[in-house]
Amino acid sequence: MDFSKTGEVLMDSGSIHRTLLAYALPVLLMQLLQQLYNIADCAVIGRLCGGFGLAAAGVAGLVLAVHINFFIGFSVGVTSAVSRLFGARDFGKLRAMIATSIWLAVGAGLFLTVVGEKLGENYLAWLACPPEAMGDALLYLRICLLGLVPQLVYNVANGVFRALGNTKTPLRWLAASAVLNIALDLLFVGAWGFGFEGAAWATLASQWALGIGMIWRLMRIDGRFRFSFDAPLLSAGELFALLRLGVPSGMQAAFMSLSSLLIQISIDSFGPAAMAGMVIYAKIEGFLYYPAFAYGMALTGFIGQNLGAGRLDRVEEAMKVSRRTAIYGTMAICAVLALAAKPILGCFTEDPATLANGLAAVYWTFPVYFLYSLNQVYIGGLKGLGETGIPMLSALVAYALFRVVWCQTLLPYWHDMAVIYTAYDVSFVISMLILVPAYRHAFRRAAHPEPQGATIAAL
C-alpha cells in the first residue's frame, strides 16, 4: 500500500539506521525550531522590557508549562497507541483513535483555560513571584492561556503524525508559525511599541494559526483514517485503554514541570538575578533538552510500529543505535555550547549578575547531560513497548521528589545555587537506575507475551 501522496511512512522494513535517522531528524529540527520560537520572545522581552520583564515571562511560562507539558507527554502515549494500530494496518480503529485524541485535546484545553484564568494570580503568588514582576507576569499568563487549546491540539496532532511516520508535516507548520511569530513580534513590539503585552499577543496569534493548520492537515491524510468532525470515536473500553497509555505519559511530563515549579520557589530566594539567570540558562539548555526529548518521542513511534508488525529484531537494533547517538551526540553538543555559552547568553541580557548565574548553571550541568539523553532513549523505548507507567514513576521519584527534597534539605545549611544545579545532576543518575532494568523487563515481556484482552495496549 502506498502512502507517499499523503506523507505516512511504514517503518517495519528497510535500513534501520537510515529509517530512524530520516524519521528522527525532522523531530529534532522541530524541537530546535520550537526553542528558537521561544528565544524570539525571550530576546524581545529581555532587550526591550528589562530583567523584571524577563523574570515575569519566566515565572508565567512555568505555570503554562505544567499544562502544555502534560499534553506533550500525553501525545507520546497517543503516538504509542496510533503507531501500533498503523503498524498492524487496523485503519478503522485508527481513525477513531485519531478523532478521539483531537477532541480530548480541545476539551482539556477549554477546561484548563477557564481554570487558569480563574486561578492565575494564585499560581503566581504560590511561586512567590516578586511584587514588582507580578503585574506583568499575570498579564502575560492571562493572554497566553488563551492559546492553550491550539497548543494542546498541535501537540496531540504532532503525536499522531509521528506515529504515522510523517515527521515533516509538523515541522513545516511549526516553521511557518515561528516565522509568523517573529514577524508579529517585530510589528507589535518593534514598530507599534506595544511592549511586553505585544509579545504575548504575537505568540497567541501564531499559536492559533499553528493549531488550525494542523487540524486542516489531519483532514487531508489517507482517507481510511483521516480526521473529520463526524468521525466515529473510541468505545468506552478503548478510550480507557488510550488513557492508560496517555495519562501516565502526560503525568511524567507534568511531574518534570512540577519539579521546576517547586524548585523555582528555592531559586526565588536568591533574588531576581538568579531567577533571570535560570530563564536564560533554559534557553541554551533547550538545544540539549529538546533534541533529546524529541529523539525519545521519535523512538517511541519507530518502536511502536515495529512492535505492531512483530519486528522485535528492529526494536533491539534501534535501541543500540539510539544509545550511541545519545552519548556521543550529546557530549559533542555540550562541548560546543559550553565554549560558546557566554556570547550566547549575552544576547539575552547585559546584567552581569544575571549572566553569571546563567553561566554557572551551564558549567555545573552540561558535563553530565548525556545521562539525560540516555534517559530519553530508555523512556522512548519503554513507551514504544506500551509501558508508560515506569517513565511516570521515574519522573516522580527522580525529578519531582528527589530534587525538591535535596534542595529543601541542603539549602538551609549551604545557601548556594550549586545545590540546585547538583540536584539536576544526581537526578539523572537516579532516573537511569529506574529505567534501564525496567526496559529490559518490558522487552523480555514483549518477546514472550502473556494472553491479553482486546485492548489498544495489547495491539
User: Which of 256, 269, 3, 227 shows the shortest CA–CA distance to 127?
Assistant: 269
Terminal Cα-to-Cα distance of the chain (whole angstroms): 20
Residue 11 placed within a domain:
no
Q: Which of 453, 59, 9, 20 is nearest to 238 (CA)?
A: 453
C-alpha cell at 215: 487540524
Mean per-residue pLDDT over the chain, rounded: 82
Q: Which residue has the cell 497507541?
A: 81
pTM score, two decimals?
A: 0.71
* Cβ partners under 8 Å of residue 48, min gap 6: 189, 195, 196
Whether residue 5 is contained in a domain is answered as no
State the Cα–Cα distance between residues 312 and 283, nearest whole angstrom. 38
With bands split at pLDDT 50, 70 and 90, how would you rate the model's confidence at 411?
confident
Residue 14 lies in a domain: no
Q: Is residue 3 situated within a structural domain? A: no
Q: Which of 283, 277, 279 is nearest to 344 (CA)?
A: 283
Share of the chain above pLDDT 70, in %: 87
Does residue 355 lie within any of the structural domains? yes
Classify residue 10: in a domain, yes or no. no
Nine cell digits for residue 298 = 521519535
Beta strands (DSSP E) in 152-270 are none
The residue range of the domain holding 437 is 19-458
User: pLDDT tens digit string along 243-277?
Assistant: 887 888 777 777 776 777 777 777 877 877 787 78
For residue 367, the 8-state DSSP code is: G
Output 22 or 373, whichever has higher pLDDT: 373
Question: pLDDT by residue (tens digit) across 71-90?
Answer: 777 877 788 788 888 887 88
Total domains in the fold of the chain = 1
What average pLDDT does this structure show over 309-317? 86
| Residue 6 included in any domain | no
- The burial class, CB within 10 Å (0-12 / 13-18 / 19+), for 81 is buried
Q: Residue 450: its pLDDT value, please?
A: 64
CB neighbour list of residue 421: distance below 8 Å, 6 or more residues apart: 360, 361, 364, 365
| Residue 331 covered by a domain | yes
Please tell me the distance from the alpha carbon of residue 140 to that of residue 395, in angstroms, as a whole number. Answer: 28
